[in-house]
Amino acid sequence: LRLIYKMKAFEWLKRAQAEKFAIGAFNGASMETFRAIVQAAAKLKSPVIIEASHSEVEFFGMTEMVAVVRALEKDFKVPVILNLDHAPDLESCLRAIEVGFDYIHFDGSKMPYEKNVRVAKMVVTAAHVRRIPVEGEMDHIGGSSADHRGEEALDVSHLAAFTDPENARLFVLETGIDTFAGFFGNVHGLYGGQKNIDLDLLKRIKESIPTKFLSLHGGSGIPGDQIKAAIKEGIVKINVNSELRVAYAEELKKTLNQPNQK
Q: Which residues are catalytic?
A: 85
Residue 47 belongs to what H/E stretch? none
Own/partner pairs for 149-155, CB < 8 Å, 24+ apart? 149/190, 149/191, 149/192, 150/192, 151/191, 151/192, 152/192, 152/193, 154/191, 154/192, 154/193, 155/193
Angle at which helices 62-76 and 31-44 pack, to 10 degrees? 30
Secondary structure of residue 139 in the 3-state scheme: coil
- State the Cα angle at 73 between 68 and 75, rounded to 5°: 95
